[in-house]
Chains A and B, each alone.
Chain A
């Protein structure tokens, strides 16, 4: 025992002190159970469109089994450059302003490590994706969470940011459309955040992985706002809109100096993203809009279905504007988020992730992913309605 404790003590402090993701623990419980209907999945239920998989198979046949340049295949960077300019309205030079990475996760890590000095503060908003805080801590930075309340639809405002910024703040991490809340920014809100970043001379990381999945209004990119291109690392990838999570392919677009810094870390730690995934991504961008439109339409149908179901159950829920998550309020049913999720799993075999996995201000909420087949969603909503009804009676 004492030997194992001493081994644990030898793990670097800044790693040891970071807890593992709450989602991980929940996953361990779910994986011991059978017949669970899961609303806990942060990835599309669709398989990658067939023509993209076909391109990967063809790549294998042709012998695409080697390293690529550190930045990634030029042909892919060129296709990304065209796509980002057309869809997001920002032009990046494929020669030196685009870096292909292993998922947006790697790009985020590279950016944080390349831009933060030990002791620098990084602002990010909660509830948010599980990685931001740990990545900042791994880079010896100081995480500064800005809580976004449901009252404002979980959207970030200048006012919230001003209350948290300090003279040590160097970086601002923004993720809209948002995991886990489904919130998305309006043009004027994005502009306001941009003005804040410019006035405080901050660098920004904009994680726009769900950009294609917006339902009520088109996505607005933070990178496209006035004064932002030169201070923003724009992060995007193929996982969500093209249902390519397992390909692990993302990219970063930024001014050459920032890409060069990120590339150095990538070069020494990753060398390059997998070539087959890059070949598949080239194909994905060939008929990007069509693939995405089909999936978006289906997500939108499910979004309406789950929000209507929550309304029927009497659970307040901010209508998600993007991504594929709904974040209903379950806080007045006498259980903490975590207990609610555990009991829902035990009693109804429905898995959904407790809001606190995404930050302490997620208490009272439940992340329900609707990236699940409609038939399963129907079962899940029925079971959940029964559970909520029982909780209400018990709470009375």
Chain B
């Protein structure tokens, strides 16, 4: 990956001035490249990594494996796009293995997600089977640990 993208992946809120120092480039140069990456749709957005377990809001997330019948023209894409448009679907991937599509679906309650599956997803023409797993606890997400492990303290000055 391009080093600027890597740095933004680690911390999208890093200031342009600091990015420039780390990359040994000028701030204008870095600003221009970010604008270009955004314009070309390489960077599609910036989000916070949130530890859901640390907030009291009701939110459930489920992983749903979906088997589908590919269409004569367009293969999986047409149905995958259609499924992706549901706001409940946070992420959708075409995968190898038993299932065809892997979805991350979010709702306020188990019931929300269950009714999404039974009323919206399963009845879609082309969907032949679904298997839902609810996430119980998140340990790590997007490369970030959700809890700080006990840090072993390093001595402050050493030769």
Contacts and interface: CB of A to CB of B under 8 A. Distances in A.
B156 A23 contact: no
Interface in B1-35: 3, 7, 18, 20-24
B155 interface: yes
A301 B7 contact: yes
Interface in A97-148: 129-131
A374 B23 CA distance: 13
B135 interface: no
B156 A36 contact: yes
Interface string A13-44: 00000000101001100110000101011110
B159 interface: yes
B130 to A, nearest CB: 35
Contacts of A335: none
Contacts of B156: 27, 30-31, 36, 38, 40-41, 351
Contacts of B47: none
Greatest chain B CB density within 10 A among A30, A305, A309, A378 is at A305
Contact of B158 (A23, A47, A374): A23
Interface string B138-159: 0000000000000010111111
A88 to B, nearest CB: 24
Contact of A308 (B24, B154, B159): B24
A308 B156 CA distance: 24
Contacts of B22: 301-302, 304-305, 374
A45 interface: yes
A353 B154 contact: no
Given A304-B22, A305-B18, A23 B157 contact: yes
Interface in A147-166: none
A309 B22 CA distance: 10
B155 A41 contact: yes
Contact of A41 (B3, B152, B154): B154
Nearest to A306: B21
A376 B3 CA distance: 21
Contacts of A304: 21-24
Contacts of B157: 23, 26-27, 30-31, 38, 40-41, 351, 353
A27 B23 contact: no
B155 A27 contact: yes
A27 to B, nearest CB: 4
Contacts of B159: 21, 23, 42, 129-131, 179, 357
Contacts of A129: 159
Contacts of A378: 18
A357 B157 CA distance: 12
Contacts of B7: 301
16 contacts: A27-B155, A27-B158, A30-B157, A31-B155, A36-B156, A43-B154, A45-B154, A47-B152, A130-B159, A179-B159, A304-B24, A308-B21, A351-B156, A351-B157, A374-B22, A378-B18
Given A31-B155, A301-B7, A305-B18, 19 more contacts: A23-B159, A26-B157, A27-B156, A27-B157, A31-B156, A36-B156, A40-B156, A41-B156, A41-B157, A42-B158, A43-B158, A47-B152, A301-B22, A304-B23, A305-B22, A308-B20, A308-B21, A308-B24, A357-B159
